[in-house]
Amino acid sequence: VIRTLPTMAILVLILIYTNSSTAPIIVATLVLFPMIYAQMNVALDSIDQNIIDATKVQKIGKKDWIMKVYFPMILPSVLSHAGSNLSFSVKLVISAEVMAYTFTSLGGLMQSANALMDIPRLMALTLVAIVIGLLIELVFAVINRFTFI
């Protein structure tokens, strides 16, 4: 159900019941949660059943199983999606900030530049948003690359 909710309709409802500074974060959480949940399910389903059976035979404790088997098996998948998820959340939060018209945020600055027809400023802010998203993806790509060589 959460995956099919229209983002802008939810944002308007959240704006009615909360202040404009928290609404973008709530919207990003509502949109990203189903994506991350689905990615975690795929990562958990990708754990080889033979490894799970071997840990049962070896009678490995729950803590050791989680720290030495479970996390190392799902971490590459989680890290490979983390950069794109956070980059998407930046885009989503900026869109929500434009709609919420939060004055001190990147989206609010974009909205005011648009209202004042300050195209160079709007283009510069757009470039800043693109750079932020690219930097997030780059950082997670580097982390993923050097963690699982």
Per-residue pLDDT 10s for the chain (149 aa) are 666 667 777 777 887 887 777 778 888 888 888 888 888 888 888 888 887 788 778 877 888 888 887 888 888 888 888 888 889 888 888 888 887 777 788 888 998 888 899 999 999 999 999 999 999 999 988 888 887 65
pLDDT digits (tens, 9 = 90+) for 71-96: 888 888 888 888 888 898 888 888 88
User: How many angstroms separate the CA atoms of 86 and 80, rounded?
Assistant: 11
Give, in order, the Cα–Cα distances in Å from 53 to each of 48, 56, 100. 9, 5, 51
CA 130 from centroid of its chain's CA atoms: 15
Q: What b-and-e string marks burial along 7-38, b requiring 16 or more CB atoms within 10 Å of the CB?
A: eeebbeebbeeeebeebbbbbbebbbeebeee
Q: Residue 138: its pLDDT value, please?
A: 92
In this predicted structure, what is the pLDDT of residue 132? 93
pLDDT of residue 9: 77
First-to-final CA distance of the chain: 38
Closest CA relative to residue 107, chosen from 28, 18, 10, 4: 28
What are the tokens at 116? 């004042």
